[in-house]
Structure formats: C-alpha cells, structure tokens
Amino acid sequence: MLPLIKTNIPAKSQLMPKLEEVLYSGYVAQGDVVEEFERKFENYIGGGNTLSLNSGTAALHIALILAGVKQGDEVISTALTAEPTNVAIKMVGAKVRWADVDLSTGNISPESIEKAINSNTKAIIVVDYAGIPVNVSKIQEISKKYNIPVIEDAAHALGAKFRGKRTGNHFPFTIYSFQAIKHLTTIDGGALQILDNNLYNKGKIIRWFGLDKNISRLENDIQIQGYKYHMNNVNAAIGIVQLENIESIVQKYIENGKYLDENLKGIDGVELIEYYPDTEPSYWLYTLKVKNRDAFVKMMAENGIMASELHKRNDLHTYLNDFPADLPNLDNFYQNMVHIPCGWWVTKEDCDKMIELMKKGW
C-alpha cells in the first residue's frame, strides 16, 4: 500500500555520527546543540527568531500566551485542522470561535474571520492546511485593521512561500511541528518562529519553567508561569542532520504536487484546489475534491494506494465547539475533500498510476 504519510530518516552514515557524538557527550539536555539547530532553522526560514520546543502544541501554547490571550478570551480559528490547533486555545482558558473556509481552497476565509470578530477576540489562528498557504495579504489587512495578532499554524507548510518568502516571515508568530510524519522530523518536537526580539526572549523564559537560563538558578526570580517545553540536544541533533537535506526533501513534495496539479486537470469527478496569488504550496498532503468520496477511497485502496480525509473537522468535538456555528463552505468542502500521497517516497510512476486510476473512474 502506498502510504499517505511516511517518516523520513536520514541514512545511518549521515545521522549516526552526529547522534552518537551528542549521546555520549555527557550533555543530552538543552544546550549548544539546540542553539545550533535554532540558528540553522532561522537561516532556512530566512527571518525571525526560532524558539525550539518539544512539540508543535507547545509552540501554539506559547504563541497564545505571547499574544496576550487569557482566560475567557476568544480566538478565531478554523475547524479544518488537526486537533492540537484548537486544543491549545483551551489550554490558556480561552474559547474557540469558528470561521468558515474558502470553498476553493479549504483554508480559513478572511471574510468569515472579519464577521466573527467581536470585543472578546484576542487572536486569530490561521492554518496552512495540507501545505497550502492562507490568503496572507487579506489576513494581514484584517489584523492591522482590528489590531488583533495572528498566529500562523504552519505545521503542514514548512517551505511553503508567499511572495517568495517562506512561512515564518509573514505573521508575528508561526508554529511548526517536527513530529514523526512532517516534512522535517526531530522524532518529536516543534518550533515557534517569533518576529519580535523581546517576545522571543520572553518565550525562552516561558519554555523553561519561567527561569532565565542566562543566569544561575540561585539568581533567578520566577515572575511568570513557565513550562517544561524545551527541545533537547538529542532531538536537535537529528534536526540539524535533517536540515542538511531539507531543500531536496521539500522540493520532492512540491515536484509531485505540481505534477499532479498539471495532470489531474479536466478529469470527470475531480475538482482541483485553487491557490492564492503569489503563494507556493509545499504539498505536505495532496488535496483534491472528488464526487462520491467513499467509493473513491475504496477504489484507491483496492489498487494499493491510501486515500483519506485524514482529519476530523474540529467542530464535531464537543470540547472544542464553544460556539456552534453554521459553516456552509466547510460542510460542502469537507464532504468531498480527500488526500492522496505526495511526499518524498512517491515516484513519478506512482503519480502516473494515481492519475490513470482517476481517469478510469470509480
């Protein structure tokens, strides 16, 4: 079965020397190797400050804290995402206010965001779902108009671009996941890209119990709530090796995605996703809309290819559905949406097989 998602681990000859060096160095906690990973990740992103963490969820949590979201506040978000996006909102005691999606992209709708804004709105979370960048320019306009900070969940979108710049350069806070199946994995981990230097320094204190690691424990005076959210040297070592190959890894997703974009046009029962102007997806998953999704998934499985909608829409979780809302575009999009394999393990022959199967119908 051609899998929808797959973990990419560098060759032993590339990974093990660096990993063994750290494992037997006598220092495996957060240290210089973490710093090295952060600076190299910043270089890849091309801007901002990297706060490495033990998960993308920790990145979301700290981003919400730095954005000033508190108990009883509201955060506008999308229901088309993995659950951590919205679970993190509840972690700060805030409530989730849904915005609908754009029917042509599946990403959060700027118009729906603006309609959802009220006096309790303290932040907006946008998700580059499946590696497809959101409508950056319109969301930036809304953020400026209402003075509401935006948190970009780019867990699916490492390497995606808007106007030639990678995610991580467009909003005050951008989160990444380095969980096992993402473009880049540190086995488990994440990062928060922060544009403001002062907020970055505050984030470093929050991720380590509220302690400032630049001074001794005896000199510290905890003044804010902190957590044990740091990355360790072992995970960072894996990340450093992964970054050596990241350009080619991400490019493989993009090449497959563009090939499918071009060759799936005009097939009966298939509707392709649109992309916003000046954006370049990184295609963590290849997303399309199909008629009779259940039959499509069954047909693909019978031919050795995994296809799935993958994520449950979050407004179906009682705990997350603080303000039940009519989301007609999401209703329409979700019932037809499906993902097919697109990653580094997918060959041109695999792509051609999927294209031919869809041409034959289901």
Which residues carry out catalysis? 182
The structure tokens listed for 15 are: 């990974």
Q: Look up tokens 């409530």; give the residue.
A: 95
Note whether 76 and 99 are within 8 A (CB): yes
Distances (CA, A) of 318 to 97, 106, 153, 155, 314: 13, 22, 22, 24, 9
> Is the Cβ–Cβ distance between 177 and 56 less than 8 Å?
yes
What is the distance in angstroms between the CA of the first residue and the CA of the last residue of the chain?
18
Q: Taking every pair of C-alpha atoms in the chain, what is the biggest distance, in angstroms?
A: 71
- Which residues, in sequence order, are CB contacts of 229 under 8 Å at separation 6+? 53, 54, 55, 58, 61, 62, 206, 207, 208
- Three-class DSSP category at 335: helix
Distances (CA, A) of 259 to 59, 69, 161, 354: 33, 42, 18, 11
Distances (CA, A) of 248 to 14, 40, 235: 15, 16, 21
Q: For strand 161-162 and strand 121-127, is the pairing parallel, antiparallel, or unpaired?
A: unpaired
